[in-house]
Amino acid sequence: MGFLDKLRGELVDIVEWIDNTRDTLVWRFPRYHNQIKNGAQLIVRPGQVAVFVHRGELADVFEPGHYELRTDNLPILSTLQGWKHGFDSPFKSEVYFVNTRQVTDLKWGTPNPIMLRDPEFGPIRLRAFGTYSLKASDPRVLLKELVGTDAVFDTDEIHEFIRSVINNAFADMIGESQVAALDLASQYREFSEILRKNTVERIDDEFGFDIPQLYIVNISLPEAVEKALDTRTSMGVIGDLNRFQQYQMGQAMTAAAENPAGGGAAEGMGLGMGFAMAGKMMQGAPMGTAGPIGAGGPMGGAGMVPPPPPGGVWHVASGGQVQGQFAMAQVPTLITQGKIAADTMVWSAGMPAWMPAGQVPQFASYFAPVPPPPPPAK
């Protein structure tokens, strides 16, 4: 009985694969030195294909089902073995199970930005990322071209290659489309299908894979460009800058009135904003009507100055006229020359209204009391 038990242990009578993973594509049945006995049971579950390999040659392929291995359902293997009238003895053959279901939620993305010439922005850089699914379409080609003698072949061994193919196909597609960057989002679905087909053409016949699904999740511009677009969009939402500035002045006046601790500085700010508001209302007055500082004054409609470019540029109201633009570095010289006094009205971008120079924090140190000459030495 011991000899028979040993003999039974060296014979394989059930060949099957129970896959507990989500990313294994090919698995070799661990026969080792055992032999598959005549009449053994082959169980191929849904989403699998079993491929017999005899002495390095691809033999029979079994679709999902339950089989009893005999000469009539192993025609190629029978020919390779030289069985002309059936076989009764065990045989040696490698059995590979190929996963034919979709492996989903695989990620792809451009490792480096793609340089393009956009019809609206000119030269730009784009990045993209998305997901795709992978499926074995031809087990014979897959075993021959990629698996070889590996006992296990999973998606990690092919994932980087597929990603590079997708990225290459994406660069070709986006370059040929000539679609403006701001219009790409409206064509994600169309581009996804084009990209899927182009990728499948490059890998299907050569490696035995199919890509049933491929999606473009996002195509993005560099961060600096996106910030510039956000600024441009904000300006478009604001619309009329004059009305927006009036609204800001009104809000600042309300806040100053509700802050009794503001003291003289708050009163001066409120007075300055009041003059500015009056100037805004005078914009619609007929020609020749005097504004708060006279016709054509800094608060009048004819003398309104649009917001200057950023960078600390200052405007000075003197003699009913607006002078400037002056850089911050020029202000000390103007104060020394007497062209700007403590009560001279000044304005810069970001200020809600014109203010006396002596109340502007940046200028306060220049108007501090000058100490008298020291007493003579005794």
Q: How far, rounded to the nearest angstrom, does the alpha carbon of residue 143 sit from its chain's CA centroid?
A: 36
CB burial of 246-276 (b: ≥16 within 10 Å; e: otherwise) equals: eeebeebbeebeeeeeeeeebebbbebbebb
Q: How many CB atoms are located within 10 Å of the residue 357 CB?
A: 22
In this prediction, residue 193 has a pLDDT band, given cuts at 50, 70 and 90, of: very high
DSSP assignment of 217-231: EEEE--HHHHHHHHH
Token duo for residue 358: 């002596």
Distance CA 152, CA 264 (A): 82
Nearest in space to 103 (alpha carbons), one of 56, 150, 155, 65 = 155
Task: With beta carbons less than 8 A apart as the criterion, state whether 355 and 275 touch.
Answer: no
User: Could you tell me the CA-to-CA distances from 161 to 22, 150, 196, 202, 284 in Å, in that order?
Assistant: 19, 18, 15, 11, 68
Average pLDDT, the chain: 77
Strands 35-44 and 11-15: parallel
Contact indicator for 45, 20 with CB cutoff of 8 Å: no
Cα angle, residue 154 at apex, residues 151 and 159 outer, rounded to 5°: 140
Pick the closest to residue 154 from 106, 220, 117 (CA basis). Answer: 106
Q: Could you state, in order of their start, the residue ranges of all structural domains in the chain?
A: 2-99, 103-227, 241-365
The pLDDT value recorded for residue 229 is 72
Helices and strands (DSSP H and E) totals, the chain:
9, 17
Helical axes 156-177 vs 188-207, angle rounded to 10°: 130
Structure confidence at residue 119 (pLDDT):
80
| Alpha carbon distance 63, 149 (integer Å) | 22
- Decide: 103 and 209 in contact? Cβ < 8 Å: no
How many residues in total does the chain contain? 378
Q: What is the architecture of the domain spanning 103-227?
A: 2-Layer Sandwich (3.30)
Residue type, 192: S
Q: What backbone phi and psi angles, to 5 degrees, belong to 273?
A: -70, -30
Per-residue model confidence as pLDDT tens digits over 296-321: 444 444 445 554 443 478 888 887 78
Neighbouring C-alpha atoms within 13 Å toward the C-beta of 337: 6
The Cα–Cα gap between 352 and 302 comes to 19
Count of other CB atoms within 10 angstroms of residue 317: 21
Q: What is the mean pLDDT of residues 230-259?
A: 67
Nearest in space to 328 (alpha carbons), one of 285, 271, 366: 366
The region of weakest confidence among 95-109, 208-222, 262-276 is: 262-276
Structure tokens at 182: 């701001």
The pLDDT confidence band at residue 5, using thresholds 50, 70 and 90, is very low
Distance CA 131, CA 111 (A): 15
- Looking at residue 341, its pLDDT comes to 87
Per-residue confidence (pLDDT) for residue 260, from 0 to 100: 57
| Rounded distance between C-alpha atoms, residue 162 and residue 147, angstroms | 15
Q: What is the CA radius of gyration of the chain?
A: 41
pLDDT digits (tens, 9 = 90+) for 46-93: 999 999 888 878 888 999 999 988 877 788 887 777 665 566 667 778
**Span 325-378, pLDDT tens digits:** 888 888 888 888 888 888 888 888 878 888 888 888 888 778 877 677 777 776
Contact, 325 vs 364, CB < 8 A? Answer: no
